[in-house]
Amino acid sequence: MSTSPVSDSSPLEQKDSINPLVFYGSVFVIVLFSLWAMFFTESAGKVIYAVLAWISNSFGWFYFLAVVAYLVFVIAIAFSRYGSIKLGPDHAEPEFNIVTWAAMLFSAGIGIDLIFYCIVEPVTQFTQPPVGEGGSVEAAREAMKLTFLHWGLSGWGIYTLVGMSLAFFSYRHGLPLTIRSALYPIFGKRIHGGIGNTVDIAAVLGTVFGVATSLGIGIIQLNFGLNYMFGIPESTLTQALLAMGIVVFAAISAVTGVEKGIRRLSEFNMLLAVVLVLFVLIAGDTRFLLDAFVMNVGDYIAGFVPMSFDTYAFDPPQKWLNAWTVFFWAWWIAWGPFVGLFLARISRGRTIRAFVAGTLILPLTFMMAWMSIMGNSAIDLVMNGATEFGQQAVGNPGSAIYLFLENFPWTLVTTITVTVLAIVFFVTSGDSGSLVLSNLTCFIRDPSNDAPAWMRIVWATVIGVVTVALLSTDGLEALQSAVVIMGLPFAFVLFLMMIGLFRALKVEGMKAASNRDALAGHLSARTSSPRGHTNWTHRLSRAISFPNRKQVTQFIEEVARPAFSDVRSALSEKGHEAAIEGEDGEREHLSLTVDLGGEEDFSYQLWPRSCAMPSFTIRAQRSRSVYYRLEVHLREGGLGYDVMGYTREQLIEDVVDHFESHLQYLHLRRETTGGTGDARGEEGSGEPT
């Protein structure tokens, strides 16, 4: 594994700018494919469907195994000792609360498909099951089991893997928030060349085609709803106007950023979805729906493992497999880069364990409630004589949700509600898609920042144009199939991401072990040296001292800088170069960096942090309401303890403690891997962000 630092020409050393190879390469392929699908629809369809059939028939088993492997991997990592590692520096805190975070990950992860398939799939599986007779009680149970399988843990395991990998490498190790970064432990600096560009271009294509396909499917459904409610004709012109309108709103939302536009729309949409599903529960046969929900959950849990491996080997319903299970697994994989990158973007500061638990449990819980209540209600209607509704739901999927709501009171209100829900889901898919595409096609130094607003507008427009073009030429089905085809190469990329993440996490484990192994030396130094003991009155005074910013600055100049100079001089005598750097003003800090040649450099930093004055202090009664701590930061982030008030000797001892731990870590790494350097080859700033 290559572990040496990247060159000075890496994207991380450049200003924020467009990545010309990825941007123009992606646009070229998108235009070329779209023109092919638009003007040579029949021939393009034959080629695409032939490739799709070959992949489905030849690699169906692989999709089954791969999806299970991804899920097992992320769960194993969450339960392992690596689960406590943060997706970001050790001092980082989550940017969004749990409710907002859940709303955003759900809106981006499923979007309009939630409305489209909640009626269509249960009814289709009930009336046309892969095995056995349709329309029976057993078929009803199997229909909901299959629906849960296709929308449950398996798919979200893919999103979790991608999101966890990207967040780890970007926010903890400072690599760009792109797919290529997750492959650094395998390919090293080559990710900044052809390999990385190819992977990112493929991710861009999958995102554009995936979002465009979902928008196209949803627009057809929305057009039916507007015709149903207001008599607006179902036509290409109407669909084009709807697409452009949605793109405009998506661009506006994307420009306002994650913190405002995307966040607020996601929260609103989740609230509206909860209101709608509760209405169906209360207005329908409540007791039956609750009984069915409990039964469905039990059936899913009990049958999860058998269903996950059921390839129907002896009598495979190949057409059904290609249209449903294999299609869904390939679809989830193809969407993995898009949704995973967005999940990474909103998950900085969470631990790996919290991230995995959240991305698996929260969407699953809502999905089971939504699919069970809506799906069982629809199946119950068909079983009780609404055969025409069942036929229309299967034959014209875009009409399913609207025809379903005809069977409940306040039809006009509920159809308007579902229409608004669909529109907002469109916008959340479009704005998150344009945000992800912008970040994928730009060099961005700080992974916490996003690409320029104009770039997001450009990609929102591209998505809209592709959607309209393919709707106007019946190329949408070909595009949908193309997305599934792209799922195969990405399935292999995901395995590489698993390997890369595991290697990097092993390095993190070595760092923790080095701190533990070096503890005996730290304690020995404290007990053997008289200088390691300070007068207890001095310790007490430091404990109840609450310095201001001026005092912290004075400490840095009079104590910390001389201490760092002493360490630098001692290291210089031993043949090791060390540098002392710092800034004043808002970003005031002091750092000591030791050059260890080809291995990972040592960095010890002091950063002031403003804190609220404790209520028990006399000073709190005055105008000054804050005091300052001087906290230690290493490459992994802040350690959370305060050295303000240390003597010069104490501070030196603390630096040496961490230097010993670092050397122990390098030793463990050499013994284990035989390599040098760190897992991603970049110097982390260690600064609090």
93 phi/psi in degrees, rounded to 5:
-120, 150
In order of 167, 270, 372, the CA distances from 119 in angstroms are 35, 19, 10
- Close Cβ partners of 173 (under 8 Å, ≥ 6 residues apart): 504, 678, 679, 680, 682, 684
- Copy the structure tokens of residue 367: 């999905």
* Percent of the chain whose predicted confidence (pLDDT) is above 70: 87
Span 292-320, average pLDDT: 94
Where is average pLDDT lowest: 285-299, 304-318, 457-471? Answer: 457-471
Instruction: Select the more confidently predicted residue: 644 or 69.
Output: 69
Span 172-183, average pLDDT: 88
Given a contact cutoff of 8 angstroms between Cβ atoms, the answer to whether 225 and 218 are in contact is no
pLDDT above 90 (res 302): yes
State residue 517's pLDDT score. 57
In this predicted model, what pLDDT tens digit does every residue of 540-566 receive, in sequence order? 777 778 888 899 999 999 999 999 999
State residue 78's pLDDT score. 96
In this predicted model, what pLDDT tens digit does every residue of 355-377 receive, in sequence order? 999 999 998 999 999 999 999 99
Q: How far is CA 275 from the centre of its chain?
A: 27
Instruction: Select the more confidently predicted residue: 161 or 668.
Output: 161
State residue 448's pLDDT score. 66
Other C-beta atoms lying within 10 Å of the C-beta of residue 576: 15
Which of the residue ranges 89-103, 297-311, 320-334, 588-602 has the most confident prediction, judged by mean pLDDT?
297-311
- Close Cβ partners of 71 (under 8 Å, ≥ 6 residues apart): 153, 154, 157
State residue 281's pLDDT score. 96
How would DSSP label each residue in 309-335? Answer: T----SS--HHHHHHTHHHHHHHHHHH
pLDDT band at 622 (very low <50, low <70, confident <90, very high): low
Given a contact cutoff of 8 angstroms between Cβ atoms, the answer to whether 267 and 96 are in contact is no
End-to-end Cα distance, the chain: 30
Q: Angle at CA 432, nearest 5°, toward 427 and 433?
A: 95
Span 643-672, average pLDDT: 85
Kind plus residue range of the DSSP H or E element containing 593: strand 589-594
Span 448-457, average pLDDT: 79
pLDDT above 60 (res 621): no
Span 636-647, average pLDDT: 83
State residue 175's pLDDT score. 86
pLDDT above 80 (res 110): no
State residue 5's pLDDT score. 32
In this predicted model, what pLDDT tens digit does every residue of 49-68 receive, in sequence order? 888 888 888 888 999 999 99
Q: Which amino acid is at 445?
A: R
Span 661-676, average pLDDT: 75
Instruction: Select the more confidently predicted residue: 337 or 540.
Output: 337
Q: Which amino acid is at 201?
A: I
pTM summary value: 0.81
pLDDT above 70 (res 620): no
Where is average pLDDT lowest: 248-262, 346-360, 488-502, 575-589? Answer: 248-262
Residue count of the chain: 689
Distance from C-alpha of 37 to C-alpha of 52, rounded to nearest angstrom: 15
Given a contact cutoff of 8 angstroms between Cβ atoms, the answer to whether 687 and 11 are in contact is no
Q: How far is CA 60 from the centre of its chain?
A: 26
Whose tokens are 């945000």? That residue is 435
Tell how strand 602-612 and strand 17-18 pair up.
Answer: unpaired
State residue 130's pLDDT score. 95
Span 454-480, average pLDDT: 78
State residue 380's pLDDT score. 96
Helix, strand and coil percent figures for the chain, each rounded to 5: 70, 5, 20
**Adjacent-strand bridge partners of 17:** 443
Nearest in space to 108 (alpha carbons), one of 252, 216, 266: 266
Average pLDDT for the chain: 84
State residue 9's pLDDT score. 39
Burial class (CB in 10 A: 0-12, 13-18, 19+), 58: exposed
State residue 12's pLDDT score. 40
Where is average pLDDT lowest: 132-141, 172-181, 371-380? Answer: 172-181
pLDDT above 50 (res 11): no
Span 294-313, average pLDDT: 96
Nearest in space to 646 (alpha carbons), one of 562, 523, 577: 562
pLDDT above 90 (res 538): no
pLDDT band at 23 (very low <50, low <70, confident <90, very high): very high
343 phi/psi in degrees, rounded to 5:
-60, -40
Given a contact cutoff of 8 angstroms between Cβ atoms, the answer to whether 491 and 66 are in contact is yes
State residue 624's pLDDT score. 65
Span 486-490, average pLDDT: 87
Q: How far is CA 288 from the centre of its chain?
A: 36
State residue 514's pLDDT score. 67
Instruction: Select the more confidently predicted residue: 252 or 493.
Output: 493
Instruction: Select the more confidently predicted residue: 219 or 518.
Output: 219
3-state class (DSSP) for residue 18: strand
